[in-house]
Chains A and B, each alone.
Chain A
């Protein structure tokens, strides 16, 4: 456990060594950003719309009472979407989509000696392969979370319009009433942290693969499992510290 943690920290240190040539790294960062950001937009959009809709319907179901104003549904949906659903659920899904792809890509490069080829050329392989992935993770995952928040709240609006449990006017009033900016800060901190956790853990798992295709698959699975565990752990810590 401590041995792995030490290896992980040393790998991160190697990953952020001065690049051989910034322009080559920049091209790689852009490629990773497109892969993480644009490539994940579809799945994030779909889950966000559904989660927003479901959150609204379930909140409305639990708060049917003459003593509770209907606008509360919008407020609760907004806060739960921004604080928890969008960053955490998106991150868990992205760990599966982005994280497993990163672990298998780096793992395959390891077992096919492509990483050895980089090292022979004098390239800092962790820097060239891992730092663009981490940079793309900490920049694109927060952007995806912003999109997810927008679509989650839109999903809630569609649910109100379709179900008539809460009027769209009440829902919109609930969304805009009593907004506390701290929740946006917490959401941003979570998104950045989760971006780092997913990309660094999965890259680490891929980089130290030993063996063949079976081990590459196992490393991708380990990367996703550890990322999910660490996402939930960071979620708890950030919530406890910032709220």
Chain B
């Protein structure tokens, strides 16, 4: 479980996050949604420690991550997997080396064990046999899947995903969403997904937080989102005529 308590983040004069509090439970797809500039990615970066909150705490299973130094954070970080918006695969390494990289650094497994784990992760994301390809030889969807394989290689307790559907066609987007949801349920991972893709929201949003102007504006599930009368959320989710028609037909 991840708790964020009254998190503020300021860049110079610009206050991006204004007192966000939320709890993300294991085995659920926790989605952070909001318009551009609402603070979604900043909140994600504050949770994983890429940004330090100006005020407030981030707590991983009772351990206050915000107050820890680099060395103290390492044991928690080895339990974190993250998929970046552009996958962030290491260009100089093959698919297999990318997946084995955290295993090389943080485990004492033999080469055969690490290779087995890499093959298992690749099979799990339907990329068996692509071990020797370099990131430049992969399509956008394949890169995302390798990113997921790398993120789960250490059997993480926490999975963070930043814009998993950006730049992908609708079919591949749904496949990536389904994969994230399957892994979350299968390993009871605490998954936090930053997205503004409405297919993801409606498809896998067990727990959704809507950010607006740096504040938590709404919280609920994908079942509740269609019934809400929150004006800003409705303007965001049902922005297109198609979505408005879909809502009317519900």
Contact = CB atoms under 8 A, between A and B. Distances in A.
B97 to A, nearest CB: 11
Given A24-B105, A117-B82, A122 B73 contact: yes
Interface stretch (A39-47, A93-101, A108-116, A190-198): A108-116
A112 B222 CA distance: 32
Contact of B50 (A20, A108, A114, A120): A120
A177 interface: no
Interface string B63-80: 000000010011101101
A124 B105 CA distance: 11
B114 to A, nearest CB: 12
Interface string A198-217: 00000000000000000000
A21 B104 CA distance: 8
Interface string A9-46: 00000000000110110000000000000000000000
B88 A114 contact: yes
Interface in B68-112: 70, 73-75, 77-78, 80, 82, 84-86, 88-91, 101-102, 104-106
Nearest to B107: A21
Contacts, number: 57
In this complex, the interface size class of chain A, counting residues with CB under 8 Å from chain B, is: 10 to 19
A124 B70 contact: yes
A132 B166 CA distance: 34
Contact of A121 (B77, B89, B91): B77
B134 to A, nearest CB: 14
A114 to B, nearest CB: 5
A119 B77 CA distance: 8
10 contacts: A20-B105, A109-B91, A114-B88, A114-B89, A116-B84, A119-B50, A121-B106, A122-B73, A122-B74, A122-B106
Given A120-B48, A121-B102, 9 more contacts: A112-B88, A112-B91, A117-B90, A120-B80, A120-B160, A121-B105, A122-B75, A122-B105, A123-B105
Interface of B: 48-50, 70, 73-75, 77-78, 80, 82, 84-86, 88-91, 101-102, 104-106, 154, 160
